[in-house]
Amino acid sequence: MTFDVHTIRSQFPALTSPDGSVYLDSAATTQKPLCVINAISDYYHKQNANVHRGSHSLTANATAQFEEARRQVQRFIQAKQHKEVIWTRGATEAINLIAQTYARNTLQAGDEILVGEMEHHANIVPWQIVAQQTGAKVIKVPMTPDCQWDMNAFHALLSSRTKIVAAAHMTNVTGTRQPIEAIIQAAHHYNAVTVIDGAQGVVHESVDVQNLDCDFYVFSGHKLYAPTGIGVLYGKLALLEAMPPWHGGGKMVQQVSFDNTTFAELPAKFEAGTPNVAGAIALATAIKWLAEIDQTQHHNHQHHLHQQLIQGLTALDEVVLIGLQPNSSVVSFQLVIEGEVIHHQDIATLLDQQNIAVRSGHHCAHPLMDALGINGTVRVSFGIYTNSDDIKALLHALTKCIELL
């Protein structure tokens, strides 16, 4: 389908409401197209049933759609087998699962986990927890002054003690596209396992986990135009098979007795209890919907939006851009008026009063903010539906904020 932002935008009910905001917070969560909303509604209207349980046609139909959604994700990220796709509540739960199954059962005192300085808290805190449990150490990989992964420092830190390397595909504050290919290759030279947080990256470029050769890759549905509460853990088959279960309950077992319990095979081993069936089906719907859109034209459109935004922001003397990346869908900035940094929350509030929705704060990235010596930013982030009028509205509203302040 040819990329036409007007046509695409018309498919998002939240954006077509007369009193809807100019939505520039898609890095936090995306709005949902009507086909995704309908997929959820149709499931509950017509086929609501549990999966992998019972013998009636409703559960058989729900199970078939649930497992087809898994195969849709398998094709989307080019996984070798559908058993390598595990449903989670999101990227955060997926990383915690890796930490509490793979890491907790393999790490020993003195082992090291290398984690980038620009990571989201979801890719820092789980490693700190498992390090306390095992005696391992979390080692920071610093960033360069221009908000890039410092490859020289990374190579210097790698050693036989390195057991896990955790890195974001794309960062959520500056939109930095990290050199995950080089990171993975270098980590594997030391036989370290790689964990890639793809929550932002999978939205903006095609992912082939086999070509990347990453050991784990995680992402959330809600940043990919799908619902909240559904996410994906990809892991190499041999790793997943060797990992013990995390949650116990129904579906993840073969046989239970008070003498012994045997666990189900992949992927059920990691999917205890009733899953988010509607969420999985809706995620598959979002993936299929995105596949119909010309992504080259989409990227060109995003490039024009980025240029328009940066030209507008740099024309305002009071704006200080933070970690600016070329052609990123994420732009962070501060306002400095007469030498004083205006609190990011005040700016976001003033923009909200003009019907402009942006994000303010530390963006779940305290170490990044500490490295920059700041306490937060205003973040503007695009979605597939963002248009030139949104950028014009933001720049107009921001100019009024500056005049008021």
Positions marked active-site: 364
Q: What is the DSSP string of 27-43?
A: TT-----HHHHHHHHHH
Q: At what angle do helices 388-404 and 295-314 cross, to 10 degrees?
A: 20
DSSP category for residue 142: P
Written as one letter, the residue type at 256 is: V
| Distances in whole angstroms, Cα of residue 203 to Cα of each of 64, 170, 358, 382 | 26, 10, 19, 11
DSSP category for residue 101: I
Task: Check residue 148 and give left, alpha or beta (phi > 0: left; psi -120 to 50: alpha).
Answer: beta
* CA–CA separation, 405 and 402 (whole Å): 5
Opening angle at CA 328, ends 326 and 332, nearest 5 = 100
CA 142 from chain center: how many Å?
Answer: 21
Task: With beta carbons less than 8 A apart as the criterion, state whether 374 and 129 touch.
Answer: no
Cβ neighbours for 219, distance < 8 A, ≥ 6 positions apart? 91, 94, 197, 198, 199, 201, 202, 231, 232
* CA–CA separation, 386 and 23 (whole Å): 8
What burial class does residue 18 get, using C-beta atoms within 10 Å of its C-beta: 0-12 exposed, 13-18 middle, 19+ buried? exposed
Q: What is the DSSP string of 328-371?
A: -SEEEEEEEETTEEEPHHHHHHHHHTTTEE-EEE-TT-HHHHHH
Q: Look up residue 271 and give its two tokens.
A: 């999917």
| Distances in whole angstroms, Cα of residue 344 to Cα of each of 21, 335, 364, 375 | 19, 8, 15, 9
Nearest Cα neighbor of 15 from 387, 378, 402 is: 387
